Amino acid sequence: MKVFLPGTLEDLWERWEKIPNARIYAGGTDFMVKLREGAIQAPALICLERIPALTKIREEENTLFIGAGVSHAGILTHPLVQTWCPVLVEALRVLGSPLIRNMGTLGGNIATASPAGDSLPALYVLDAEVVLADARKTRVLPISDFILSPGKTSLKEREIIRGVRIPRPMPYTMSRYEKVGKRKAMAVAVASLAACLRFDTNGVVKIARLAWGSVGPTIVTASRVEKALVGFPLSRKHLEEIAPMVEEAVSPIDDIRASAVYRKKIAINLLCRLAGDSNFNGRFTP
């Protein structure tokens, strides 16, 4: 099988035009497994990892752009990401192994559209937008509109993920990502939670963004829970009072890793644990 490595987007579109059935990939950590298993058939492959437009992280006015081809390791160590979105850093720090983080890309994690994808809950609470492109135009979708169901996205034929845009965080914002797996490393999440909360100067929640992974067909958000947090200090008592809303919001399944009942309990416990760490690991965004 031939593998092409275009050096520009123009080269990509030209090559894809000549081999329209070629499959696109970047890091390949999920793609190559499926290819070897025979789940993917293609006359040729086109690798995106050498296209500079897809491998940059830069500030654009009031947004941070992260190219789809940037590796997880590259995101983890980038000072702009560490400043703008520490919740994404926390999520990627527990994704896979060092080898996976060095090869896997943010665009690939998004395109896989797994409800257990570690980057996805963080991107949801960051209100990330997915930048899509084909040979003629670019379009932008909120990540919640881009991901439709397990393994299914709004990506059109002959279109690629160019990157994500994340708005500038507001002052007095705290964030946290935590996941529960069957082991401490190299674990697919049984359940996970990303949280971004903005407080006033008295410690009262003004804005809440919550997203759970592995407890529904896609990432689960719960506007009722978010609204119930607003106007109160973050306390264990209040979180326990609104816990039934979480149980109503999530719709987990039984699988080899955990039962649906257990996942519901974990989803609630992850929310309640927010009050146990009042400093969210000290991650105030300036």
DSSP state of 220: B
Per domain, the residue ranges of the chain are: 50-167, 173-281
Listed residue (127, 130, 119, 118) closest to 159, CA to CA: 130
Residue 6 clears pLDDT 80, i.e. is over it: yes
For range 261-267, the mean pLDDT: 96
Q: Specify the 3-state DSSP secondary structure of 9.
A: helix
**Residue 88 burial (CB < 10 Å; 0-12/13-18/19+)?**
buried
For range 132-143, the mean pLDDT: 97
Query: In 186-208, which positions are buried (b, 16+ CB within 10 angstroms) versus exposed (e)?
Result: ebbbbbbbbbbbbbeeeeebeeb
Residue 279 clears pLDDT 70, i.e. is over it: no
Q: Domain 50-167 has what CATH class?
A: alpha beta
Residue 87 clears pLDDT 90, i.e. is over it: yes
Strands 129-133 and 57-60: unpaired
| 191 vs 180: CA distance, rounded Å | 6
Backbone angles phi, psi at 123, to 5 degrees: -65, -35
Residue 277 clears pLDDT 80, i.e. is over it: no
Place of tokens 């989803």: 267
Which tens digit of pLDDT belongs to each residue from 22-64?
Answer: 999 998 888 888 888 888 888 999 999 999 999 999 999 899 9
Give the pLDDT score at 185.
74
Residue 283 clears pLDDT 50, i.e. is over it: no
For range 5-17, the mean pLDDT: 96
For range 255-261, the mean pLDDT: 93
pLDDT band at 280 (very low <50, low <70, confident <90, very high): very low
CATH code given to domain 173-281: 3.30.390.50
Give the pLDDT score at 30.
86
**Residues 6 or more apart whose Cβ sits within 8 Å of residue 216:** 115, 250, 251, 252
pLDDT band at 170 (very low <50, low <70, confident <90, very high): confident
Give the pLDDT score at 285.
46
50-167 and 173-281, same CATH topology: no
pLDDT band at 201 (very low <50, low <70, confident <90, very high): confident
In the chain, the largest separation of any two C-alpha atoms, in whole Å, equals 62
Listed residue (162, 163, 143) closest to 153, CA to CA: 143
Which tens digit of pLDDT belongs to each residue from 17-27?
Answer: 999 999 999 98
The DSSP bridge partners found for residue 47 are: 25
Range of weakest confidence among 53-62, 71-80, 175-184, 239-248: 175-184
Give the pLDDT score at 286.
41
Range of weakest confidence among 173-182, 210-219, 259-268: 173-182
Given a contact cutoff of 8 angstroms between Cβ atoms, the answer to whether 147 and 93 are in contact is no
| 92 vs 117: CA distance, rounded Å | 10
Please report how the helices 236-249 and 260-272 are oriented relative to each other, as an axis angle in degrees rounded to 10: 150
